Amino acid sequence: MAKRLFAEFFGTFWLVFGGCGSAVLAAAFPQLGIGFAGVALAFGLTVVTMAYAVGHISGGHFNPAVTLGLFAGGRIPAADVIPYMVAQVIGAVAAGAVLFFIASGKAGFDATAGGFASNGYGEHSPGGYGMAAALVAEVVLTAMFLLIINGATDERAPKGFAPLAIGLALTLIHLISIPVTNTSVNPARSTGVALFQGTWALQQLWLFWAAPLAGGVLGGVIYRFLLAAPAASRVAVTPAPPAPPAAPA
């Protein structure tokens, strides 16, 4: 368990530092900023790289909504849920602290005024989208993310490609929803930067826990009961045990 929790810590650290770091440090860099598309790709790349690096240790969740959704889908035991979530949040906060230290090295940096890559709705939505729109977007996109994760890691799926599918899915999710909420689908990611933004981001943080967790459970349950292989099929593909040796004559 200790190794799995460290894997979740480092994976979530990298996701928040790489994804939010690209938004804070590089998105609007003078003349050569990477923009929304670059930030979306950065989030996807963090998942791909860490899923290959430590996914074989912990499963590569890096997200409380993924952990809860996999539990709802029957993929992980209840005993893993809280420890994984705690490790993910600690990793996200550690990444937020390192990013804040780096960003504050630039003259004129202001996390409160700039938003510090925090998620928001209403006047704090990049595109001015209201609370209801933000809530629906986060629930639907997180549910779809869980469907993709479950499908890509299904025993019937092609082997070795799950990190690519999951990373590309997260990239697409960001391309869709950065203008709506700055894209959460991950309560740890939201928490890790909201603590350092310090004002409105903390006041709106509830939505970026409630909506992704609800969406994660929804996606896990849908896959479990509508798309997963029947129990009989799963048993059928298990190799039979070898026959006992014949008795000597």
Q: What are the pLDDT digits (tens) for 68-99? A: 999 999 999 999 999 999 999 999 999 999 99
In a domain, 196, yes or no: yes
Cα dihedral 135, 153, 190, 177 in deg (nearest 10): -50
Pick the closest to residue 147 from 127, 174, 163, 169 (CA basis). Answer: 169
CA distance 44 to 181: 17
pLDDT at position 237 over 50 = no
Contact in structure between 173 and 145 (CB atoms under 8 Å):
yes
In a domain, 109, yes or no: no
In a domain, 13, yes or no: yes
Contact in structure between 180 and 129 (CB atoms under 8 Å):
yes
pLDDT value for 240: 45
Q: Report pLDDT digits (tens) over 130-188.
A: 999 999 999 999 999 999 999 999 999 999 999 999 999 999 999 999 999 999 999 99
Number of domains in the chain: 1
Q: Which domain holds residue 148?
A: 1-102+115-226
What is the pTM (predicted TM-score) of this model? 0.90
pLDDT value for 244: 52
In a domain, 221, yes or no: yes
- Residue 187, CB-side half-sphere exposure with 13 Å CA sphere: 25
Pick the closest to residue 142 from 104, 188, 106, 173 (CA basis). Answer: 173
What Cα–Cα distance (Å) separates residue 151 from each residue in 83, 84, 115, 186, 199? Answer: 24, 21, 35, 19, 38
pLDDT at position 62 over 70 = yes
SS3 content of the chain, % helix, strand, coil (to 5): 70, 0, 30
pLDDT at position 225 over 70 = yes
Percent of the chain with pLDDT over 90: 86
In a domain, 245, yes or no: no
Per-residue pLDDT band for 66 (boundaries 50, 70, 90) equals very high
Report CA 233 to chain centroid distance, whole Å. Answer: 30
pLDDT value for 245: 53
pLDDT value for 231: 62
- Tracing tokens 């894997």 back to the chain, one arrives at 7
Q: Report pLDDT digits (tens) over 10-36.
A: 999 999 999 999 999 998 877 778 999
The first and second tokens of residue 239, run together, are 């190799």
Domain of residue 196, CATH code: 1.20.1080.10
Backbone angles phi, psi at 143, to 5 degrees: -60, -45
In a domain, 236, yes or no: no
